[in-house]
């Protein structure tokens, strides 16, 4: 981060800068990639500087158009999306969005995607000296050279993509893991061995909605990613499992819509959290959560360190 950032931290009275896998955050609450765009829309209704960091929508080497047809469907406890990682490409982001975010002097985490190892590497290289705080690898993308199998569903493939980016980038490297696997701990161990600095758990679960009028899948892509409150117990379980076995900082994400939800993730072992789908209903949620956590800790005379991992220590 810039010297100006650290000066602002001191002047604002913040007691500490949070180190998360080498990335310096203002607090423990961030936007989740895909639900916050690149910050411009939310900047109209909230103060971006209240975020611990902004995690921007996934970026690829070249622009991706996304999926055709219906791309979002509401569910009883969340939503399905089949956006298809639509984005303008990393070069467009650097030219058109990054100057805006850097002017806010907020820690910037860039989620990166790719269809091949080379695409991940090229995106990472372009971001190396741009002033972003960290990279978050989305390894749920299909490896087109391997028959469309997602990098994140195989320990070997997960290891290969993380290692390839690690060798090309000096930035802190977070890896966002897919829950659509048999053993999340095995994948987490693989990416740690490959050089990951932190883990983001979890990405969306694969789901489907059928239009009972037509009898056809509602989403143009047939399946989509389920997010929202429905996935929170699964995400908490996976954070708990990984925190027990893997010695890396964890960022919890999945269905957080209140401080109580976030506290479950902290108690399971997460050191920070990301908020996503809830922001569509409550765009000011991320502005409130840091103060709510501060009040919670003061009322109970606790430190956040005492809260993190509490559920594991209680067993």
**Phi, psi of 38, rounded to the nearest 5 degrees:** -120, 20
Q: How many helices (H) and strands (E) does the chain have?
A: 12, 18
Q: Cα separations (Å) of 218 from 171, 206, 225, 291? A: 40, 14, 13, 40
141 catalytic, yes or no?
yes
How far apart are the C-alpha atoms of 146 and 151, rounded to whole Å? 9
Coil, helix or strand at residue 149: strand
Q: Are strands 29-31 and 216-217 parallel, antiparallel or unpaired?
A: unpaired
Distance of CA 301 to the CA centre of its chain: 30
Q: What six digits make up the tokens of 309?
A: 């991992």
DSSP string, 88-146: --HHHIIIIIHHHHHHHT--EEEEE--SSHHHHHHHHHHHTTTT--EEEEETTSEEGGG
Q: Catalytic residue, from 141, 239, 251, 272: name it.
A: 141
**Phi, psi of 19, rounded to the nearest 5 degrees:** -95, 115
How far apart are the C-alpha atoms of 53 and 62, rounded to whole Å? 25
Q: Cα separations (Å) of 80 from 41, 70, 72, 228? A: 22, 11, 6, 9
How far apart are the C-alpha atoms of 271 and 289, rounded to whole Å? 15
Catalytic residues: 141
């Amino acid at each position: 981060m810039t010297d100006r950032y650290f000066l602002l931290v001191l002047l604002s009275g913040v007691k500490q800068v949070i180190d998360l896998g080498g990335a310096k955050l203002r607090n423990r609450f961030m936007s989740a990639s895909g639900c916050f765009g690149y910050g411009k829309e939310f900047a109209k209704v909230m103060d971006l500087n209240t975020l611990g960091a902004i995690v921007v929508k996934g970026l690829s080497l070249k622009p991706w158009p996304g999926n055709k047809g219906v791309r979002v469907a509401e569910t009883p406890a969340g939503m399905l999306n089949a956006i298809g990682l639509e984005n303008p490409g990393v070069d467009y982001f650097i030219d058109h969005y990054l100057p805006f975010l850097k002017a806010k002097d907020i820690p910037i985490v860039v989620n990166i995607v790719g269809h091949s190892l080379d695409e991940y590497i090229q995106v990472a290289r372009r971001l190396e000296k741009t002033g972003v705080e960290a990279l978050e690898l989305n390894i749920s993308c299909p490896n087109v050279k391997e028959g469309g199998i997602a990098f994140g569903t195989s320990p070997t493939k997960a290891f290969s993509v993380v290692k390839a980016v690690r060798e090309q980038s000096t930035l802190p490297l977070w890896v966002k893991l897919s829950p659509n696997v048999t053993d999340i701990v095995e994948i987490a161990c693989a990416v740690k061995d490959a050089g990951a600095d932190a883990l983001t758990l979890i990405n969306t679960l694969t789901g489907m909605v059928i239009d009972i009028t037509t009898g056809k899948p509602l989403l143009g892509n047939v399946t989509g990613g389920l997010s929202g409150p429905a996935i929170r117990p699964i995400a908490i379980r996976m954070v708990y499992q990984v925190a027990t076995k893997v010695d890396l900082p964890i960022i919890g994400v999945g269905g957080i819509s209140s401080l109580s939800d976030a506290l479950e993730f902290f108690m399971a072992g997460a050191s920070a959290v990301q908020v996503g789908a809830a922001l569509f209903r409550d765009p000011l949620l991320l502005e409130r959560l840091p103060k709510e956590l501060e009040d919670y800790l003061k009322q109970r005379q606790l430190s956040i360190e005492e809260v993190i991992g509490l559920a594991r220590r209680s067993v």
